[in-house]
């Protein structure tokens, strides 16, 4: 009984500190203001390990990107295609992905 309880506690501890790939999959979005402009960003993380992102500045499409992503513990890392190895790292906090103070919630 004590061994079973210990296994459950260890398993819960490991699960509570990160995000699973299954949890990461889906659409996330967020809005923030930078230098007087409002940016809205949405990205879709697919089950095959790819992502697509669109950013709008003051309501007009500003940029798009695609690439692959990986989940490492409490981080989701986006690797942009064709941009000389550019990666963006998001931390998983309270059900949201956070980067540079910007929060992206799952829809």
Distance of CA 62 to the CA centre of its chain: 20
At the topology level of CATH, where does 19-106 sit? Lipocalin (2.40.128)
Question: Can you say whether residue 76 is alpha, beta or left, with left for phi > 0 and alpha for psi between -120 and 50 degrees?
Answer: beta
Q: Report whether pLDDT(92) > 80.
A: yes
pLDDT tens across 31-76, in order?
999 999 999 999 999 999 999 999 999 999 999 999 999 999 999 9
What does each C-alpha distance from 99 to 11, 16, 85, 90 come to in angstroms? 27, 20, 18, 5
The model carries a pTM of 0.80
Domain ranges across the chain? 19-106
Pick from 84, 86, 93: nearest CA to 69: 86
């Amino acid at each position: 009984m004590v061994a079973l309880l210990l296994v459950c506690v260890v398993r819960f501890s490991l699960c509570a500190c990160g995000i699973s790939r299954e949890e990461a999959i889906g659409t996330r979005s967020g809005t923030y203001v930078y230098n007087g402009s409002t940016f809205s960003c949405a990205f879709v993380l697919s089950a095959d390990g790819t992502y697509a992102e669109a950013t709008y500045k003051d309501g007009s499409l500003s940029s798009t990107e695609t690439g692959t992503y990986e989940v490492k513990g409490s981080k989701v890392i986006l690797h942009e295609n064709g941009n000389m190895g550019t990666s963006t790292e998001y931390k998983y906090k309270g059900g949201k992905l956070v980067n540079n103070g910007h929060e992206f919630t799952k829809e």
